[in-house]
Amino acid sequence: MKVFLKLIWFFKLRKKEYLIGLSMLGLVAILNLIPPKVIGYVIDEIGNGELTTQSLAKWVGIIIVVAILIYIMRYYWRRMIFGSSTYLAKLLREKLFHHFTKMSPSFYQQRRVGDLMAHATNDISAVQQTAGGGVLTLFDSVTTGGFVILAMAITIDWRLTLIALIPMPLMAISTSYYGKLLHSRFREAQAAFSDLNDKTQESISGIKVIKTFGQQDEDTADFTRLSNDVVDKNMKVAKIDSLFDPTISLVIGFSFMLSLGFGAKFIYEGSMSIGDLVAFNTYLGLLVWPMLAFGMLFNIMERGSASYDRIEQLLEVPVEIDDKENALDSKPNGDIGFKIDDFKFPGDQASALHSVHFTLKRGETLGIVGKTGSGKTTILKLLLREFEGYNGEIRFGNHTIDDYKKQRLREAIGYVPQDHFLFSTTVFENIAFNNPQENREEVEQIAKIAHIHDDILRFTNGYETIVGERGVSLSGGQKQRISIARALMMKPELLILDDSLSAVDAKTEEAILKSLKEAREDSTTIITSHRLSAIEHAHLIIVMDDGTIVEQGTHEELMALQGKYFEMYQLQQLERLVEKGGEEIE
């Protein structure tokens, strides 16, 4: 029953629908009592030789009218109750989705996509069933069951009613026992389904790696194992589920036996008519559904309750990085002051960043270099407010970044991540992602700055070519340049290129940087790169090592220092020379 209390907010929200639905359901329960009684009267009139054409027509007429009324009301209660439960599913789905969109990367780092998908599908449908089928079974088992029993006791014979009800407690005991068993087995089945979901998602995303390493057979075997596990666990649920119907039939059968035996006795004694016994047994038949509903009710409630708990737990996970009260509702702009004394990723002991201090004037370009894992992307993650909890402060304009609404901060930053993601839609929509209404000239203009326009024109359908998972495959460099164009579309105050030119050749890189410089004269740019040519012209270059700045200055200053930057530069020059030499030899 607890689950109905948990859903009380929803029943209040759809009060009108549920009231109409349940009233209709109650009327149907009452109308259902009429036909058995009519059958009893007809049989008694036949027995007494009183049945005339007129009286038969009257009884048949009553049954037809009742049937039509039941038909109409059934339609309406189904619409009201099941319609509302669909609405609940929609509400929960939207709530979950909205919550997911607000969560920070660490939330996704700790959870599996398959699990989240299972919540959004299976769990929501179990809760939907509670608000639909659950309400129906609860109401039917109580009301229809109650009315039938009352009709049997009041209009026919209360002694026979009591006798026929003797086996019923057996039903209550067994269904509650099965319900408990079902609960734990259902949980296991859901967990197995989550595992399978996760596996499927991972295998499909990683299909290229799986194939390259020739691991298809192993992967399929793994999938089969998990799939079998889902079947096994669901079979265990089904075994308990299958016990409900036979148990109820057995108990009802026992009731029929008792009512027939004792009914016959009462007829012989003259305290009951044959018509009454027929009507009584028809009523007993009408009790089958409420009793079945009673058994199903446990099942539905157990599932709904477990699922609702899981959804609630997920919704209760706090949004780690949220807006302050009275956060500034304006886009930040101005100088960037980055002063981080210490930062550790959540749960980590070691510092990911320490003593990272630099200032970047508006309109300047910052180059961040350093070997892999030295903390370059971490600096950007803090700037984007993906993580907090550091000692120090990050200023953007006249305020620290957490003074602004997160949405406004993000709107000011055009971030091109290392791992590009293209949506399964047209090139145009991928670029104009932030503003799909954008006109074609504007998009083309931006594509030219990102040096991808000519490539796009060579695609079969130009800007209308579908890319992404279901579309044409693009080269790494093309994807990078589309991602850059997407970020540029925002006309960001701060553009961040996180190793975003790694897949284009040196000449294209130089051309892109040149057009960026021209197009974004007054805006700030941060570039992280392994290739020093990408940051050579930056106003400030910082060299990262092991989470801290080991050198900073302009290219000339750093070269004069003859330190780490100098070494890296020399090495890369040498590599270029070797590459060129190779070309010449060919």
Ligand X SMILES: Nc1ncnc2c1ncn2[C@@H]1O[C@H](COP(=O)(O)OP(=O)(O)OP(=O)(O)O)[C@@H](O)[C@H]1O
Shortest Cβ distance from residue 487 to ligand X (Å)? 18
**Contact assessment for residue 123 and residue 307, using Cβ atoms and an 8 Å cutoff:** yes
Q: How far apart are CA 131 and CA 5, in angstroms?
A: 11
If the CB atoms of residues 47 and 373 are measured against ligand X, the closer one turns out to be: 373
Shortest Cβ distance from residue 545 to ligand X (Å)? 10
If the CB atoms of residues 471 and 547 are measured against ligand X, the closer one turns out to be: 547
If the CB atoms of residues 385 and 491 are measured against ligand X, the closer one turns out to be: 385
> Is residue 551 helix, strand or coil?
strand
* CA angle at 138 for the pair 135 and 143, rounded to the nearest 5°: 115
Shortest Cβ distance from residue 350 to ligand X (Å)? 8
Shortest Cβ distance from residue 504 to ligand X (Å)? 17
Shortest Cβ distance from residue 381 to ligand X (Å)? 7
Residue count (the chain): 586
* 104 dihedral zone (left: phi>0; alpha: psi -120 to 50; beta): beta
Q: How far apart are CA 518 and CA 363, in angstroms?
A: 11
Backbone torsions φ then ψ of 261, nearest 5 degrees:
-60, -55
DSSP 374: S
169, burial (CB in 10 Å: exposed 0-12, middle 13-18, buried 19+):
exposed
Side-by-side strand order, sheet with 353-360: 353-360, 336-343, 391-396, 399-400
Shortest Cβ distance from residue 120 to ligand X (Å)? 24
Q: How far apart are CA 404 and CA 387, in angstroms?
A: 15
If the CB atoms of residues 255 and 500 are measured against ligand X, the closer one turns out to be: 500
Q: How far apart are CA 46 and CA 51, in angstroms?
A: 5
Shortest Cβ distance from residue 334 to ligand X (Å)? 25
Shortest Cβ distance from residue 106 to ligand X (Å)? 7
If the CB atoms of residues 349 and 437 are measured against ligand X, the closer one turns out to be: 349
Residue with tokens 């003859």: 562
If the CB atoms of residues 226 and 352 are measured against ligand X, the closer one turns out to be: 352
Shortest Cβ distance from residue 542 to ligand X (Å)? 12
If the CB atoms of residues 347 and 436 are measured against ligand X, the closer one turns out to be: 347
If the CB atoms of residues 185 and 376 are measured against ligand X, the closer one turns out to be: 376
DSSP for 306-349, please give it: HHHHHHHHHHHS--SS-PPTT-B-S---S-EEEEEEEE--TT-S
Shortest Cβ distance from residue 378 to ligand X (Å)? 3
Shortest Cβ distance from residue 511 to ligand X (Å)? 24
Find, among 515, 504, 505, the residue nearest to 449 by Cα.
Answer: 515
The CB density around residue 335, as the number of other CB atoms within 10 Å, is 15
**Contact assessment for residue 197 and residue 205, using Cβ atoms and an 8 Å cutoff:** no
Residue ranges binding ligand X (CB under 6 A): 109, 345, 348, 352, 370, 372-378, 418
How many separate helices (H) and strands (E) can be counted in the chain?
A: 24, 10
DSSP 464: G
The beta-carbon contacts of 300-303 under 8 Å, at least 24 apart in sequence, are 300/129, 300/130, 300/133, 300/134, 300/137, 301/1, 301/2, 301/3, 301/4, 301/130, 301/134, 301/179, 302/179, 302/182, 302/183, 302/186, 303/126, 303/129, 303/130, 303/182, 303/186
If the CB atoms of residues 175 and 529 are measured against ligand X, the closer one turns out to be: 529
If the CB atoms of residues 273 and 529 are measured against ligand X, the closer one turns out to be: 529
If the CB atoms of residues 148 and 336 are measured against ligand X, the closer one turns out to be: 336
